[in-house]
Structure 1
């Protein structure tokens, strides 16, 4: 009897082969993708926004009905709640009287909005106790006696990591005299650009104030870039530190990587009297008067790895005071900003013309 052996049909064999190949490719692709995602997560410096952490910090103290700060604070709240697309968590440092005013402003705005907003108040007296050692050190170097900036409020950013809840990893501290032309999400996205060593994100100072403060040092070191404006068209070594000039920083908009600050031994070692004495003496920095801003400027020049410079469009300062104080010939070089404006900053009580296009212009 003849045994007939039936062979699989060619089409069946081809389909089986395709399925085997597809399974192999899919399995290996999944393994590769999983491995890539794991490596990216391990090497990433981007924020872990699992809980969408949008912490905005404001200081609102020593106010009264009709005071300029009261108006600016209310305007900023309205602006943020109107233009922001993310659930903001406001953290506001207050005294007893200002807390009532702030809460009234927030509740009134929330009643007109369907956005998810939360807020927490921090008493200035309790907050000050948490940073008093930092203030004691800083006021020796960055405040003139009786200065407006000789106040705990103007050093509070340096110890905000102590005041903020341990659950907060990222925060943005804002002056009240600013106006957002675009969504604050763009500012929070800057955390994703932080180099691994950066603790703070801050934009350049757009005036020659540090050219003035450092004039003694600059006379002794004519080739320094410290206090000089950015030379946009120079051909420079891209690996050279501050080779474009270094105008200093403006602390009206400040990004803080709180967990990194809490864990930074380098930062702790800088916040002591002997280190700051050496640093200020090195640069003949004898006329500091802008509080934490002076510290961030020295920090950025001496320890650039601790600062992430964000572009000027995130803090487009409008003050022209220094133009008429002997610096008319160079003022426009400092004030130049070639980035699209996200935030306008009406520093030194400058009016903010909200509909005016400050982009790519001198002020």
Structure 2
């Protein structure tokens, strides 16, 4: 087994990736060297599916203690189900985290490959040896989050005031039913406010799938990418509806008590979104004047005033909350995806009928990231 791991495995690693058999070049062919700017990130060719995952503040106590554990699980699930799909994986990270993230990716690829090869040679899996392909064609870019935030500092600071509790300490609050809920201090971090600015940051990418780190993929991501083709021509984002009832009080206020507001009548869109899985049609976002105006510093705040909810409701989930309000007021910009692409297992369910009954293509179990 020692000979297998140190001699045969590196050769198979190159072969299965479809790359040259050159160990010195392997790491930089799979993961671009260093921390790069968002505008420099691009897929090797048009056949690659671009997928972004945020991994910031790795190792910072009290924020997301389990982030690398859940990311390892996500990476393994992507590799297992997307073997035939070329993937351009963007990891949005930071200066203090990127070396740890890079090491984690290489270790995860090596472990997945070695386990797969061992199962093959033990006869547990018998693919056609001529067409043996254990890993998809891969390109990882480690993107510096500052390259996204630096041009939108004013907008992000406004969003922090409007769409978070703006506290660096955990906040415990009691709901109407007597339940106590803890709000993590993590939502004061920039990473929860960058979604609205992806189109201006990733200038060389037309379509982008974003995934939360605490997901488990159970279907080829090429199938998720195909949903871009079913989006109406005016839609700029594909999202899944919230399945917990998180926005239920807001829904009751806006749609039941104040019918004079000219808001979406689509019941699924009324539920609000969960941003664990999002399809960003970046090219359309760059060209859509209505969206770009809504994203201005003035209108990031004004949308709450227009709905008369500025002092009525607390918002705490960053850009997910803003996207939800935008979907209420401009529903044509959003396409609701089948719930199976983001089956949520929330810590608390307010509206049981919101739960997804479709087959699970991506599982989203809340809470694991803090363990």
TM-score, scaled to structure 1:
0.70
The separation in 2 between residues aligned to 1:212 and 1:143, in whole angstroms, is 17
The separation in 2 between residues aligned to 1:181 and 1:266, in whole angstroms, is 35
Aligned counterpart for 1:207 among listed residues 232, 236, 244? 244
Q: Does 1:249 align with 2:276?
A: no
Structure 1 spans left out of the alignment, 5+ residues:
1-48, 227-239, 352-363
Aligned counterpart for 1:311 among listed residues 335, 338, 348? 338
Going from structure 1 to structure 2, the CA distance change for 1:215 and 1:242 (only over 3 Å counts) comes to closer
Q: Does 1:284 align with 2:333?
A: no
CA contact (8 A) 1:318 1:347 kept: yes
CA contact (8 A) 2:158 2:301 kept: no
Going from structure 1 to structure 2, the CA distance change for 1:259 and 1:225 (only over 3 Å counts) comes to closer
The separation in 2 between residues aligned to 1:204 and 1:225, in whole angstroms, is 20
- Structure 1 or 2, whichever has the larger Rg, is 1
- Displacement of 1:349: 3.2
Query: What are the within-5 Å matches in structure 2 for residues 124-135 of structure 1?
Result: 124-135=145-156
Query: What are the within-5 Å matches in structure 2 for residues 188-227 of structure 1?
Result: 188-214=225-251, 216-217=253-254, 220-221=257-258
Query: What are the within-5 Å matches in structure 2 for residues 234-273 of structure 1?
Result: 241-242=265-266, 246-273=270-297
Query: What are the within-5 Å matches in structure 2 for residues 55-204 of structure 1?
Result: 55-64=50-59, 67-84=65-82, 85-111=84-110, 112=113, 113-146=134-167, 147-164=185-202, 166-204=203-241
The separation in 2 between residues aligned to 1:114 and 1:210, in whole angstroms, is 40
Structure 2 spans left out of the alignment, 5+ residues:
1-43, 114-133, 168-184
The separation in 2 between residues aligned to 1:114 and 1:61, in whole angstroms, is 26
RMSD: 2.7
Going from structure 1 to structure 2, the CA distance change for 1:182 and 1:222 (only over 3 Å counts) comes to same
Going from structure 1 to structure 2, the CA distance change for 1:127 and 1:277 (only over 3 Å counts) comes to closer
SS of the aligned residue for 2:166 comes to: coil
- Displacement of 1:342: 0.6
Q: Which residue of 1 aligns with 2:352?
A: 332
Note the alpha carbon deviations across 1:40-80, whole angstroms, 9 max, x for none: xxxxxxxxx97213001011111129930010111111111
- Displacement of 1:170: 0.6
The separation in 2 between residues aligned to 1:339 and 1:219, in whole angstroms, is 28
Going from structure 1 to structure 2, the CA distance change for 1:333 and 1:50 (only over 3 Å counts) comes to same
The separation in 2 between residues aligned to 1:245 and 1:93, in whole angstroms, is 28
- Displacement of 1:273: 4.0
The separation in 2 between residues aligned to 1:263 and 1:116, in whole angstroms, is 31
CA contact (8 A) 2:154 2:297 kept: no
CA contact (8 A) 2:66 2:369 kept: no
Going from structure 1 to structure 2, the CA distance change for 1:109 and 1:115 (only over 3 Å counts) comes to farther
CA contact (8 A) 2:269 2:331 kept: no
- Displacement of 1:217: 4.1
TM-score, scaled to structure 2:
0.69
The separation in 1 between residues aligned to 2:332 and 2:85, in whole angstroms, is 30
- Displacement of 1:339: 2.2
CA contact (8 A) 1:137 1:271 kept: no
CA contact (8 A) 1:318 1:350 kept: no
- Displacement of 1:140: 3.0
CA contact (8 A) 2:236 2:334 kept: yes
- Displacement of 1:178: 0.4
CA contact (8 A) 2:340 2:362 kept: yes
Going from structure 1 to structure 2, the CA distance change for 1:274 and 1:126 (only over 3 Å counts) comes to closer
